[in-house]
Structure 1
Amino acid sequence: MTTETADTNPSGPATPHAIVLVHGGFVDGSGWKGVYSLLKDDYSVRIVQNPTLSLEGDVAATKMIVGAQSEPVILVGHSYGGMVVTEAGNDPKVAGLVYIAAFTPDAGESVETLIADPPPGAPVPPILPPQDGFLFLDREKFHASFAGDLGAEEAAFMADSQVPWGVEALSGTISEPAWQNKPSWYLVATEDRMIPPQAQRSMSARAGSTVEEVAGSHSIYLSQPAAVAALIEKAASQVNSAAWSSR
């Protein structure tokens, strides 16, 4: 693993790549708009709209989008989306994985197992008791926990437009983590109050990811799209370079 500060994308061979973006729990794919806008002129960019009812269903939805691409895919996951890309990333079209403040599970792990033993002193996400098999975050605590570096109005809209997250999705386990066979990159959000930064560092180290750290909340993909897009571009470039040097 290497740890770096965010910087500009290094140049590499112009091998085309598709970028597939996978959202996490409580939100939908529209949050990727800023990242999409920064990448769309240079890459084919697609956004998965996961049902977030089960890990199996979300992996299937992601593989459907991956399978439709005509170019090698850089598969990007935020938060719970990291679970999805870890399993879906085994698709042969996937060339590399990018985790944005995301769960990075090993074989047999689930969201439930990863959050069962939080680091000492870590904030507890304000997840409400299940309602008919679905989870929501406490609206009054959403801003501070999920979107601390966004404006109050934007955070309030996110809190009021939450996507119900199926309890079943939290128990879905990984069969074979794609990061064991594919290169990966990880953006640690150092002010995250949903997935503790210590946990992000531990998971990314275990995966052997190339790591960058940026001061930002769990919503760093919204608050700092340039930093997120730069890491995705770096991943695409470094995959290009590795492919080029092996020819």
Structure 2
Amino acid sequence: MSKPTIVLVHGAWADASSWNAVATELQNQGFTVLAPPNLLRGVASDAAYIASFLSQRTSGPVVLVGHSYGGFVITNAAAGGGDVRALVYVDAFIPEEGEFVFQILGDSGSALAVPDPTTVLDVVGYPGAPEGDAEAFLKPATVHDSFAQDLSETDRGLIVATQRPITLSANTTPSAAPAWKTIPSWAVIGTEDRVIPPATQRSMAERAGATITEAAASHVSMVSQPSVTIDAILAAVAAVGVSV
């Protein structure tokens, strides 16, 4: 059987370049790697886009990987398109049906779960927004102290400059039926994650029956310690019986 396609879905305040280190190594090992844009508009539309991408841009088995909010998206997209054989969550949300991002973070100790969100986020309007919706950017201090604190100052500065905002509504929309109930999953937990605290990640991963590994890293462990994510993806490939 041929090697699976590896599809990497980025999270909020990021783009596909956040997967560069992971994608390069997997390509060097002979895998087809795709890293589509995650639109960051809302769970339903983001998941529909990824499902459509899987249907149209992949053939054969797929290992679907999500970082942060990307985990929320793949949970809702995996059953909608493509032949997804495994899910890999990296510092990610792994929601149950009916849960939403702000609810999961609520009493977790997350750096984003604060009484006044404008102390950690810059909230701005955007054209065509539904009534009451807005986009959220990370404040520079949030990036430096809580999002990517284990990267170099230069790399943190690039995240501040190039981040893609997520809508507030994407964080308040509940998940549909989760794909992890029928598709085996793996999880990489950043033990220094200040956005989705490790205890919260572990609780979600254990509930999903995921195979868990840890990285002594921030919320962007796939950037600071890509080998841990690569190993988890390769373990998923091997476990679901597709050729490596």
User: What is the TM-score when the length of structure 1 is the normalising length?
Assistant: 0.87
**Is the CA contact 1:15–1:240 (under 8 Å) kept in the aligned structure 2?**
no
Q: Classify the secondary structure of the residue corresponding to 2:121.
A: coil
Offset at residue 85 of structure 1 (A): 0.6
| Equivalence for 1:63 | 51
Instruction: Tell me which moved more, 95-104 or 57-66.
Output: 57-66
Q: Deviation per CA, 1:188-221, whole angstroms, max 9, x where unpaired?
A: 1000011000101100010000000110010111
Offset at residue 15 of structure 1 (A): 4.2
Offset at residue 129 of structure 1 (A): 5.3
Instruction: Tell me which moved more, 40-49 or 20-29.
Output: 40-49
Q: Classify the secondary structure of the residue corresponding to 1:143.
A: helix
| Equivalence for 2:200 | 199
| Equivalence for 2:4 | 17
Change (3 A) 1:200 1:129: same
Could you tell me which of 17, 40, 48 is aligned with 2:27?
A: 40
- What CA distance in whole angstroms lies between the structure 2 residues aligned with 1:178 and 1:15? 24
1:30-109 aligned within 5 A? 30-41=17-28, 42-67=30-55, 68-91=57-80, 93-109=83-99
Q: Classify the secondary structure of the residue corresponding to 1:63.
A: helix
Offset at residue 174 of structure 1 (A): 1.6
Given the alignment of the two structures, is residue 124 of structure 1 paired with residue 116 of structure 2, yes or no? no
Residue ranges of structure 2 left out of the alignment (5+ in a row): 113-118, 126-133
1:139-218 aligned within 5 A? 139-218=140-219
- What CA distance in whole angstroms lies between the structure 2 residues aligned with 1:216 and 1:134? 27
Q: Classify the secondary structure of the residue corresponding to 1:90.
A: helix
Given the alignment of the two structures, is residue 115 of structure 1 paired with residue 105 of structure 2, yes or no? yes
> Which residue identity is paired with 1:56?
A
* Number of aligned positions between the proteins: 226
**Is the CA contact 2:79–2:179 (under 8 Å) kept in the aligned structure 1?**
yes
Offset at residue 168 of structure 1 (A): 1.5
Offset at residue 148 of structure 1 (A): 1.2
Between the aligned residues of both structures, percent identity stands at 37
| Equivalence for 1:26 | 13
User: What is the TM-score when the length of structure 2 is the normalising length?
Assistant: 0.88
**Is the CA contact 1:184–1:207 (under 8 Å) kept in the aligned structure 2?**
yes
- What CA distance in whole angstroms lies between the structure 1 residues aligned with 2:203 and 2:141? 30
* Larger relative contact order (Cα-Cα within 8 Å, sequence gap ≥ 6): 1
> Which residue identity is paired with 2:106?
A
**Is the CA contact 2:4–2:61 (under 8 Å) kept in the aligned structure 1?**
yes
Offset at residue 236 of structure 1 (A): 0.7
Offset at residue 130 of structure 1 (A): 2.6
- Could you list the structure 1 runs, at least 4 aligned residues long, displaced by more than 4 angstroms after superposition: none
Instruction: Tell me which moved more, 139-148 or 74-83.
Output: 139-148
**Is the CA contact 2:85–2:184 (under 8 Å) kept in the aligned structure 1?**
yes
